[in-house]
Amino acid sequence: MTNVNDDAKGILERISSMCSNAESVLNLCMLGFLKNKVELLDDAQRISRLVHDEENETVSMLSGVNKNDESEKNRFKTLAVVVGQIEMATDVMDNMVRHIRVKINEKLLFGDKAANEVTQLFKETLDVLKTAKDAILTKNELLRKHVCDKYDSISRLVCDYSEEHEERLIMGICQPKSASLYLNIVDSQSKVAMHIKQAIERYFSQ
C-alpha cells in the first residue's frame, strides 16, 4: 500500500504484530507436539489470547478512523477483513492446541511416518505465516504468490497424507484415537494456511 496515512500505517503495524504472534503460536504448537510438553502449549494459548486482543483493538481502531472518501472506506473495510482472517487462523490453532494436549496427556503415540508428516506440515504452514507478514509490510507481489502457491502445496499434502493415513487405519496399523488426532492436526494446518491466503488475497485486491 503506497502513500498510506498515519492511521493506516499504525493499523498495518498491528496486523504485522498479529501475524508475528500467530506464527509464534504455531511454532509453539509444533514444539509442544515434538517435545510432548504441555507447558509449550500453555505458552501458545497465552500468545493466542494476545492475537485475539489485538484483533479487538484493531477493529476498534478501524471503526474510529475518520474515512474521508469511498476509497478510504473500502481500504479500511479490507483491513478489517484481513484482521478477521488472521484471527480465524488463530481460532484453528486454538483447536490444534486442544488436540495436541490430548495426545500428550493421554500418551498417545504417532508412528514415525505420521510424526514426520505433521512436522513437515507445521514447517510449511509456518512459512506461510512468515511470508504473509512480510507481504503485508511490503505489498510485494512475489510474496503474495508464494503464500498462494504454498497454500496449494499444503492442501495437496494434507489430502494425500489423510488418504494414506485412513488406509493405514483400515489396515489396523494405527489406533483409531491416534488417527483421529492426526487427521484433525493435519487438517488444521490446511485451514490455517487457507485463512492466511484469504487474508493476503483480500489485502492485495485493494
Residue 59: pLDDT band by 50, 70, 90 thresholds?
A: confident
Lowest-pLDDT choice from 152-156, 169-173, 196-200? 169-173
Q: Would you say residue 68 has pLDDT above 90?
A: no
Cα–Cα–Cα angle for 106, 107, 109, rounded to 5 degrees: 125
Residue 62 pLDDT = 82
Kindly state the average pLDDT of the residues 145-167.
95
Give the angle 25-29-33 at the CA atoms, nearest 5°: 170
Q: Does the structure show a pLDDT above 70 at 6? A: no
- First-residue to last-residue Cα distance in the chain: 8
Quote the mean pLDDT of the chain: 90
For residue range 86-95, what is the model confidence (pLDDT) as tens digits? 999 999 999 9
CB 174 within 8 A of CB 165: yes
pTM over 0.75: yes
- Segment among 3-17, 50-64, 109-123 with least mean pLDDT: 3-17
In DSSP notation, 87-144 reads HHHHHHHHHHHHHHHHHHHTT----HHHHHHHHHHHHHHHHHHHHHHHHHHH--HHHH
Torsion, Cα of 130, 131, 134, 135 (10° steps): -140
- pLDDT band, very low/low/confident/very high, at 18 (cuts 50, 70, 90): very high
